[in-house]
Amino acid sequence: MRPIIRRMARMAALSVLLGAGGTTAGWAQESQVGSITGHTDAGKKLYRRYCIGCHGPSGDGAGENAPWIDPKPRDFTLAVFKCRSTPSGALPTDEDLFNAITRGFVTTYMPQWRPLTAQNRTDLIAYIKTFSPKWRSGKPGTPIAIPAEPAPTAESILRGRQLFQRMECWKCHGPAGHGDGPSAATLTDNKDLPIRPYDFSTGTRFMCGATNQDLYRIFMTGLDGSPMPSFADQLKPAEAWDLVHFLRTLQPIETREAAIWRDWLNTHARELKPIGPGGGGR
């Protein structure tokens, strides 16, 4: 009799742990990335060693280094995150936060944290989620669906270029993607601090990753807290891929899209109207 009771108690304890450890984090604020469960107490120790200098003891982004850092460190008390797989306004998944810590942010002071183990990074996520009550009252959103990427063609790049014009990406990112559009100079984030649009001509990596899927995700989810909105309600998946293919031609690196585009331009360049007010057509 007694071993049965003990076994039942063990199973109950296990189910509590599993329940709290899922992406639908409960009060315990555990985190779950793949098979790894993160814990707040371990995360707190790591946070106080590696993160506190910029993000501050209360997670509000006002650490002692913050005055010298621009853009400012993330304020975890708002629970607003740029790089998510979830729709604009939704909390990110634990995997999203794990990827952000792992990858760092190319245009900010946030470095990659690959030297920390996957367990360490997962523990940190559990602790970061204790800074905002939103993690207790809400659940992460459902990641957006990303259909398979069609092969890039000159036509898809051309359609993407028209979308770059029609969606008015150029107003911030500039006609050539240099981050110098007419609205670039006045952009501010959700704390009214100046922030720059991404300059496609200098970066080999984007804010939230380096792949075509990452690029798709950036403009379909928006970078919450920043001026970059979500285009999920405006672009069909096929159009989003067209835009991805065009954006790839703006980079300073050799991409397959850039090669296709260069070939096309060799014979058709004169057909294009420049991007900008009243332009962008063929």
Partner 1 sequence: MMLRIFAGSMLVVLVGAAGRGPFPAGTINGKVTYTGTPPKAHPIDMAKEPNCVTQHPTPVSTQDAVTGPGNSVRYVVVYIAAGDQGAPAATDTVHYDQKGCMYIPHVAAMQVHQPLAIFNDDPHSHNIHPLARINPEWNKSQPKGAPPIRTTWEQPEFIAVKCNVHPWMHGYFAVLATPHFSVTDTTGAFMLAGLPPGKYTVTAWHERFGTQSQEVTIGGAETKTVNFVLTAKPY
Residue nearer to partner 1 on the CB measure, 227 or 237: 227
CB of 155 to partner 1, least distance (A): 22
CB of 3 to partner 1, least distance (A): 48
CA distances from 157 to 97, 150, 176, 262, 282 (A): 31, 12, 14, 11, 12
Binding region for partner 1 (CB under 8 A): 78, 80, 87-90, 138, 166-168, 171-172, 182-183, 186-188, 190, 222, 224-234, 277
CB of 272 to partner 1, least distance (A): 21
DSSP 34: T
Residue nearer to partner 1 on the CB measure, 150 or 277: 277
Residue nearer to partner 1 on the CB measure, 30 or 224: 224
CB of 79 to partner 1, least distance (A): 9
Residue nearer to partner 1 on the CB measure, 201 or 234: 234
Q: Among 64, 128, 57, 42, which Cα is nearest to 91's?
A: 128
Q: Among 81, 115, 109, 108, which Cα is nearest to 95's?
A: 81
Axis-axis angle for helices 212-221, 237-248 (nearest 10): 120
> What phi-psi label fits residue 193: left (phi over 0), alpha (psi between -120 and 50 degrees) or beta?
beta
Sign of the four-CA dihedral 106, 111, 116, 120: negative
CB of 89 to partner 1, least distance (A): 3
> What phi-psi label fits residue 110: left (phi over 0), alpha (psi between -120 and 50 degrees) or beta?
beta
Residue nearer to partner 1 on the CB measure, 252 or 281: 281
Residue nearer to partner 1 on the CB measure, 123 or 224: 224
CB of 187 to partner 1, least distance (A): 6
What is the distance, to the nearest Å, from the Cα of residue 116 to the centroid of all Cα atoms in its chain?
A: 20
Beta pairing class for 31-33 and 36-38:
antiparallel
Contacts of 126 (CB under 8 A, 6+ apart): 25, 29, 30, 31, 38, 39, 40, 42, 43
